[in-house]
Amino acid sequence: METVIETKNLTKFYGKNRGIKDVNITVRKGDIFGFLGPNGAGKSTTIRTLLDFIRPSSGRATILGMDCQKDSLAIRKRTGYVPGDANLYGHMTGWKYLEYIGGIRGQYDAASAKKYAERFEIRLDRRMREYSSGMRQKVVLIQALMNDPDLVIMDEPTKGLDPLVQQIFMDVVREEAANGKTIFMSSHVLSEVEKVCNRVAIIKEGMIVAEEDMESLKHKAGKVVEVKFRGAKPEPFTISGIGNVAQLNGYYRMTAAGDIRNILRDIASYDVEDVNIHSMTLDDIFMQYYTPGVK
119 Cβ partners below 8 Å, 6+ apart? 168, 172
Binding to ligand ATP by residue 14, rule CB under 6 A? yes
Closer CB to ligand ATP, 27 or 239, in the complex: 27
Binding to ligand ATP by residue 5, rule CB under 6 A? no
Residue of 41, 151, 152, 210 that binds ligand ATP (CB under 6 A): 41
- In whole angstroms, the minimum distance from the beta carbon of 16 to ligand ATP comes to 9
- In whole angstroms, the minimum distance from the beta carbon of 133 to ligand ATP comes to 16
203 Cβ partners below 8 Å, 6+ apart? 20, 23, 35, 36, 37, 41, 42, 43, 46, 209
Closer CB to ligand ATP, 44 or 255, in the complex: 44
Q: Alpha-carbon distance 217 to 45, whole Å?
A: 24
Q: Are 168 and 142 in contact (CB under 8 A)?
A: no
Amino acid identity of residue 183, one-letter, is I
Binding to ligand ATP by residue 250, rule CB under 6 A? no
Q: What is the x/- site pattern for ligand ATP, positions 55-94, by CB under 6 A?
A: -----------------------------x----------
Binding to ligand ATP by residue 179, rule CB under 6 A? no
Binding to ligand ATP by residue 37, rule CB under 6 A? yes
Binding to ligand ATP by residue 182, rule CB under 6 A? no
Binding to ligand ATP by residue 128, rule CB under 6 A? no
Residue of 10, 21, 33, 42 that binds ligand ATP (CB under 6 A): 42
Binding to ligand ATP by residue 39, rule CB under 6 A? yes
Binding to ligand ATP by residue 218, rule CB under 6 A? no
- HEC string of 68-99 equals CCCCHHHHHHCEEEECCCCCCCCCCEHHHHHH
Other beta carbons within 10 angstroms of residue 232's beta carbon come to 6
- Residue 247 CA: distances (Å) to CA of 60, 110, 227, 255: 45, 57, 10, 12
At 128, is the secondary structure helix, strand, or coil?
Answer: helix
- HEC string of 134-178 equals HHHHHHHHHHHHCCCCCEEEEECCCCCCCHHHHHHHHHHHHHHHH
Binding to ligand ATP by residue 44, rule CB under 6 A? yes
Binding to ligand ATP by residue 159, rule CB under 6 A? no
* Interface ranges with ligand ATP (CB under 6 A): 14, 17, 19, 37, 39-45, 84, 188
